């Protein structure tokens, strides 16, 4: 998460103007069907492309897709009905996400519960200080979202050298035991008080970044290595099964440095279940620039035999929010992260936000808008079931990016195709080894938002489809 918190204050100031602007320009609507205007496609002539899928060549297991509800926790809650239920259904049901990302709430232990980090003084913890976040998680859970990841943005103020949560600083070494107790209390308390199982804890959101604008805490790779040992021992002693993620660096290019230091230490490594990262050193509209870093992270995952999760990335500005251009870039980031980064999970930043995010909520008018980027994620999250394996897939044209996934329980195959160019293609898609006679087809283009088209039938296990310029297609069957 970067920069956007700076914009919150600005946004609130100009919010009313923005609200009027969007309302009068027809952007906001209650049906959640955004209409995107976009330059018309080029010539009518189609180029031919071949796409090959081979289910016998298998890669990583997919854990799922998701995003965060952090910071504007009350945004959806404060919508009036029936809009509120519509947004919840769109986010937690129709989108098909599996993972909801939250903040480990520092206020549960605003002052130290007692002087003993090995004794929970439950009267010293308060689990009723983040009820909007709890409400969001419960709404997600009631709609089938089953995986809850919580990231630390900052330890409680009294554990840090700066004695405040914003502006970086570090966790005092003499507070490592207290830090571990706080995390354990959060996991235990959320389950007992709110029925939410925190299955995954990320030790620190963006340990390589600090700002005065929101809660941050900086760790060197060595500091993160040392603290995960204390947390891991604590979780094990309490029989907590919550998995531990790190290093969750803001910059994917820094991930290997952290991973090497931490995972080459046998004691630290045994407590690390997942390696995670963000992509904020990448130009959002130049997705190919991340490939070299993703390949290096993938090597780390193979070397240390850990799944890789991309746990936050989105377009954080506003100029191109809601455009097809944003959606096509988003789809390419997901593609690259799964294909070159071998990632098992992909999480966007804001599921809902003011002015951008998958769904923009306007607290001034009480309306919402589904942005095209919502559908970019949906092409993956709706159709790829957790536990599926990524399988071999390749096209013969550089503008056509394809990824494919096999549900080994059902033999169901999902193929996601991105056309990032301005040419239309006639595609011949062949699937090796597994016979498929028919597949469902969904498409996003300048005029469609993950619209279901007529099923496509195979001829000799070859499916023939038209790929419009600048489009995303999911085939599933
Ligand atoms: Ca304590
Ligand atoms: Ca205590």
In a domain, 259, yes or no: yes
Task: Judge residue 435's burial from the number of C-beta atoms within 10 Å of its C-beta, 0-12 exposed, 13-18 middle, 19 or more buried.
Answer: exposed
Taking residues 282-299, report their average pLDDT: 98
The pLDDT score that the predictor gives to residue 421 is 98
Q: Is the pLDDT of residue 35 over 60?
A: no
| Total number of domains in the chain | 2
User: 33 is written with which tokens?
Assistant: 């069907």
Torsion of CA 344, 348, 352, 358, to 10 degrees: -100
Quick one: 300 and 345 in the same domain?
A: yes
pLDDT in tens, 56-88: 999 999 999 999 999 999 999 999 999 999 999
Eight-class DSSP state of 160: B
Sign of the CA dihedral running 364, 368, 369, 371: positive
Band of the pLDDT at 403, cuts 50, 70, 90?
very high
Measured in angstroms, how far is the CA atom of residue 156 from the centroid of ligand 1? Answer: 10
Question: What would the DSSP string read from start to end of 405-464?
Answer: EEETTTTEEEEEEEE-SSSEEEEEEEESSS--SEEEEEEESSS-SSEEEEEEEEETTEEE
CA angle 108, 112, 117 (to 5 degrees): 105
Measured in angstroms, how far is the CA atom of residue 185 from the centroid of ligand 2? Answer: 9
Taking residues 286-291, report their average pLDDT: 98
In a domain, 26, yes or no: no
Taking residues 82-110, report their average pLDDT: 98
The pLDDT score that the predictor gives to residue 199 is 98
Measured in angstroms, how far is the CA atom of residue 115 from the centroid of ligand 1? Answer: 7
Q: What kind and span of H or E run contains 268? A: helix 266-270
Taking residues 130-145, report their average pLDDT: 98
Question: Which ligand has an atom closest to residue 176 CA?
Answer: 1
Q: Residue 90 and residue 375: Cα distance in Å, rounded?
A: 11
Q: Is the pLDDT of residue 394 over 70?
A: yes
State which of 383, 406, 437 marks the end of a domain. Answer: 383
Question: Which ligand has an atom closest to residue 122 CA?
Answer: 2
Quick one: 345 and 434 in the same domain?
A: no
Quick one: 429 and 469 in the same domain?
A: yes
The enclosing domain of 427 has a CATH number of 2.60.40.1180
Structural domain range at position 51: 36-56+393-476
The pLDDT score that the predictor gives to residue 45 is 75
The pLDDT score that the predictor gives to residue 10 is 45
Measured in angstroms, how far is the CA atom of residue 162 from the centroid of ligand 1? Answer: 18
Paired with 394 in beta bridges are 52
Measured in angstroms, how far is the CA atom of residue 182 from the centroid of ligand 2? Answer: 8
Taking residues 133-155, report their average pLDDT: 98
Measured in angstroms, how far is the CA atom of residue 235 from the centroid of ligand 2? Answer: 15
Sign of the CA dihedral running 117, 118, 123, 129: positive
In the chain, what percentage of residues exceed pLDDT 90?
90
Sheet of 367-370, strands arranged across: 352-353, 359-362, 367-370
Question: What would the DSSP string read from start to end of 204-261?
Answer: -S-TT---SSSB-----HHHHHHHHHHHHHHHHHTT---EEEEEEES-GGGHHHHHHH
Question: Which ligand has an atom closest to residue 183 CA?
Answer: 1
Measured in angstroms, how far is the CA atom of residue 178 from the centroid of ligand 2? Answer: 7
State which of 350, 383, 416 marks the end of a domain. Answer: 383
The pLDDT score that the predictor gives to residue 44 is 54
Quick one: 44 and 167 in the same domain?
A: no
pLDDT in tens, 224-281: 999 999 999 999 999 999 999 999 999 999 999 999 999 999 999 999 999 999 999 9
Owner of token pair 């919502």: 374
This prediction has a pTM of 0.92
- Under 8 Å between Cβ of 461 and 435: yes
In a domain, 24, yes or no: no
In a domain, 196, yes or no: yes
In a domain, 21, yes or no: no
In a domain, 131, yes or no: yes
Q: Is the pLDDT of residue 107 over 80?
A: yes
Q: Is the pLDDT of residue 429 over 90?
A: yes
The enclosing domain of 146 has a CATH number of 3.20.20.80
Q: Is the pLDDT of residue 179 over 70?
A: yes
Quick one: 461 and 400 in the same domain?
A: yes
In a domain, 448, yes or no: yes
Measured in angstroms, how far is the CA atom of residue 70 from the centroid of ligand 1? Answer: 24
Measured in angstroms, how far is the CA atom of residue 1 from the centroid of ligand 1? Answer: 28
Quick one: 277 and 415 in the same domain?
A: no
Quick one: 349 and 455 in the same domain?
A: no
The pLDDT score that the predictor gives to residue 460 is 87
pLDDT in tens, 325-362: 999 999 999 999 999 999 999 999 999 999 999 999 99
The pLDDT score that the predictor gives to residue 28 is 32
What is the overall mean pLDDT for the chain?
A: 92
Quick one: 52 and 67 in the same domain?
A: no
Taking residues 365-373, report their average pLDDT: 98
User: 65 is written with which tokens?
Assistant: 């897709």
State which of 337, 358, 383 marks the end of a domain. Answer: 383
Band of the pLDDT at 195, cuts 50, 70, 90?
very high
């Amino acid at each position: 998460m970067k920069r956007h918190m700076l914009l919150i204050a600005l946004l609130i100031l100009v919010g009313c103007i923005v609200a009027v602007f969007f309302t009068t320009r027809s952007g906001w609507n209650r049906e959640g069907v955004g209409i995107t205007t976009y330059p018309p496609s080029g010539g009518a002539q189609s180029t031919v492309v071949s796409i090959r899928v081979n289910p016998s060549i298998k890669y990583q297991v997919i854990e799922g897709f998701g995003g965060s509800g952090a910071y504007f926790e009350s945004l959806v809650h404060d919508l009036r009905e029936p809009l509120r239920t519509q947004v919840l259904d769109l986010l937690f049901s129709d989108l098909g996400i599996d993972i909801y990302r939250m903040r480990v709430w520092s206020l549960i232990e605003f002052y130290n519960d007692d002087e003993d980090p090995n004794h929970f003084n439950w009267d010293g913890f308060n689990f009723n200080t983040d009820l909007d976040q709890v409400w969001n998680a419960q709404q997600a859970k009631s709609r089938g979202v089953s995986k809850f990841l919580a990231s630390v943005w900052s330890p409680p103020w009294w554990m840090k050298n700066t004695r405040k949560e914003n502006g970086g600083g570090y966790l005092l070494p003499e507070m490592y035991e207290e830090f571990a107790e706080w995390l354990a209390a959060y996991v235990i308390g959320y389950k007992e008080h709110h029925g939410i199982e925190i299955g995954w804890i990320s030790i620190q959101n963006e340990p390589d970044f600090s700002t005065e604008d929101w809660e941050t805490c900086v760790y060197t790779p060595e500091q993160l290595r040392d603290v995960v040992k204390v947390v891991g021992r604590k979780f094990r002693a309490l029989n907590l099964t919550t998995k531990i993620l790190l290093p969750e660096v803001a910059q994917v290019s820094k991930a290997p440095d952290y991973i090497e230091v931490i995972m080459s230490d046998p004691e630290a490594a045994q407590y690390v279940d997942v390696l995670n990262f963000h992509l904020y050193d990448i130009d959002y509209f130049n997705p190919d620039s991340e490939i070299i870093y993703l390949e290096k992270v993938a090597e780390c995952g193979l070397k240390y035999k850990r799944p890789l999760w991309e746990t936050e990335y989105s377009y954080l500005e506003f100029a191109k929010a809601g455009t097809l251009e944003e959606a096509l870039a988003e789809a390419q980031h997901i593609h690259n992260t799964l294909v070159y980064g071998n990632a098992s999970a992909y999480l966007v930043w804001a599921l809902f936000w003011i002015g951008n995010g998958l769904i923009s909520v306007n607290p001034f008018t009480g309306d919402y808008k589904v942005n095209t980027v919502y559908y970019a994620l949906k092409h993956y999250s709706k159709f790829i079931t957790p536990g599926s394996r990524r399988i071999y897939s390749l096209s013969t044209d550089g503008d056509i990016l394809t990824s494919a996934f096999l549900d080994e329980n059902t033999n169901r195959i999902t193929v996601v195709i991105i056309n990032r160019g301005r040419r239309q293609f006639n595609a011949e898609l062949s699937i090796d080894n597994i016979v498929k006679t028919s597949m469902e087809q969904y498409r996003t283009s300048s005029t469609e938002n993950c619209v279901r088209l007529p099923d496509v039938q195979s001829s000799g296990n070859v499916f023939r489809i038209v790929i419009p310029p600048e489009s995303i297609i999911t085939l599933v069957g």
